[in-house]
Structure 1
């Protein structure tokens, strides 16, 4: 295992949903250690709490992407998007490392009972939003659902410039950083779970090239920062794009493909490095507002274990590759 430091001890003093990832990717723990911690996610802490909130019909909060109406809660008076419905809950459980066996029967229940708020479409068929479909593709593959038709949807709905845009349904012909990253995360998760296809790999690589050509940060037309949101880091990530979240994907994709970090990531890596505090932590940004089941990270301005984990992992991957190249 890697040498223990105060920062590493602080990261390890966390919920099993985070701890097992720290053990595996930062502490260098042997598989039997981090796998044992990962197995606890379904029975302790965040994972167990969220599993306990599942409805008998397989859903969370009675809805696919948005919760069903609740007496005493006026949706129009709520700030932001509610994050408690089925898709968001499944995504959290998957990303926290819950074993699909802990949700035995959920896929079939959702097939029978869950419909999209958009056009009442069947849940596992997806709908028209790239970001929503990216989560659904990943979640379906995780739970063993045949979501191959939904995977093919991404090939059919790529923009001419190589990425994706949720506004395609309104006629957009240009990709969005947000939509492209969400689509790429879904495609990679599907590929890891199922092996994917040549067509899906080509689509993923083209989407990644769309972001790499822009160095994860800039517009192709003017070379200016695509938006201030690209430089803001907050956990949970939700659907929002940031340089840190994009680097997290590109790292995972490069490791999956067996390729070194692309040099065009340098500006984004520098941005993440500059955001690191003197004590090695990253501070929580402004989290997207909205109803949650429970908080999983600290308030804005406080040191975030989740962001510190993601930032540390990205920099370790980048820096280790630079050392390997130099000698």
Structure 2
């Protein structure tokens, strides 16, 4: 087993012992965090921890909240305890990909909620599918091994929503938006990249092109800045949230690009500087206030050390500075 701190010291200016202390603190947390620490920071696979992640801690509480009818009042109600966001969080927690409850929930959603436009659409009262929602759905549906044939219409729908600038906006097919959204673009990159990573082949070459152009849209904005004056699009984008769900922030954007295999680009420097700046002297990161809504679990209070955010910050800095 790799020594704690042996690898994670790379990419940081702080002394190695700080990194070792932080990794030890991370490894005292949830099994889902432990698994990702070994995988992403210590270069070691721990399938035993991945199995445990579904039976204890945050993921177990989310899974236990499922009833025979699924989570929440419906697949997209309420936020954040519905099936959609429960499955998205379970995927982000990296539980086993063939977990029966998740596989069944995805299969049921695909059989019940495909809209007339081919997109995933759990709202009977809304005519047009939402591309941001479809990006998120594609991420967890691919992760949990959805039937390839069942995902084809969703892939078709998402690719049709690609905008002239190369990005995505959930209002394009609703109100004619002409400028891509960082929220939607990030969610779609995440979903399409997960689809490819899981080995799906339908329209794979076109998807790679779409991902590359969407990534470039974010890079043109240095991830979070207005192109007109270089100021943050929103101040909230520079604060870190977990779970981020559909919302964009700098850390989520960087982590999605890392997961998609994007290499370092100088246009990431401003975003990476924010991550470094937000690191506390003890080597940890804190989270911002939770987005309003019902949750399955109680998350760390805003302004206190946050293991998931610290893990993500460390693996982002490691990836983009090696």
TM bucket (normalised to shorter chain) is: 0.7 to 0.9
Residue in structure 1 matched with residue 151 of structure 2 by the alignment: 147
Residue in structure 2 matched with residue 102 of structure 1 by the alignment: 99
CA spacing shift, 1:185–1:269, aligned 2, 3 Å: same
Spell out the pairing of 1:147-296 with structure 2 (5 A cutoff). 147-168=151-172, 169-196=174-201, 197-254=204-261, 260-295=263-298
1:60 to 65, 71, 79: 71
1:85 aligns with 2:82: yes
Residue in structure 2 matched with residue 309 of structure 1 by the alignment: 311
Q: CA deviation at 1:176?
A: 0.7
Q: Per-residue displacement from partner, 1:289-313 (whole Å, max 9, x unpaired)?
A: 1111112x31011011111111111
Q: CA deviation at 1:62?
A: 2.9
Q: Per-residue displacement from partner, 1:55-85 (whole Å, max 9, x unpaired)?
A: 213x211311113xxxxxxxxxxxxxx2000
1:50 aligns with 2:54: no
Is contact 1:47-1:96 (8 Å) kept? yes
Is contact 1:118-1:127 (8 Å) kept? no
| Equivalent-residue separation in structure 2 for 1:311 and 1:105 (angstroms) | 33
TM-score (normalizing by structure 2):
0.85
Q: CA deviation at 1:114?
A: 5.9
* Structure (1 or 2) with the greater helix fraction: 1
**Unpaired runs of at least 5, structure 2:** 6-19, 115-120
Q: CA deviation at 1:111?
A: 4.2
Residue in structure 2 matched with residue 325 of structure 1 by the alignment: none
Question: What's the RMSD between the two structures over aligned residues?
Answer: 2.0
Q: CA deviation at 1:17?
A: 1.4
CA spacing shift, 1:110–1:249, aligned 2, 3 Å: closer
CA spacing shift, 1:112–1:150, aligned 2, 3 Å: closer
Q: Per-residue displacement from partner, 1:249-276 (whole Å, max 9, x unpaired)?
A: 1112226xxxx31121111111110010
| Equivalent-residue separation in structure 2 for 1:95 and 1:279 (angstroms) | 26
Instruction: Say how many residue pairs are matched.
Output: 293
CA spacing shift, 1:158–1:236, aligned 2, 3 Å: same
SS of the residue corresponding to residue 147 of structure 1 reads: helix
* More RCO (CA 8 Å, sep 6+): 2
Is contact 1:2-1:26 (8 Å) kept? no
Is contact 1:184-1:204 (8 Å) kept? yes
Is contact 2:167-2:181 (8 Å) kept? yes
SS of the residue corresponding to residue 225 of structure 2 reads: coil
Is contact 2:289-2:302 (8 Å) kept? yes
Q: CA deviation at 1:221?
A: 2.9
SS of the residue corresponding to residue 253 of structure 2 reads: helix
| Equivalent-residue separation in structure 2 for 1:138 and 1:195 (angstroms) | 12
Is contact 1:177-1:241 (8 Å) kept? yes
SS of the residue corresponding to residue 283 of structure 1 reads: coil
Is contact 1:60-1:85 (8 Å) kept? yes
Is contact 2:88-2:245 (8 Å) kept? no
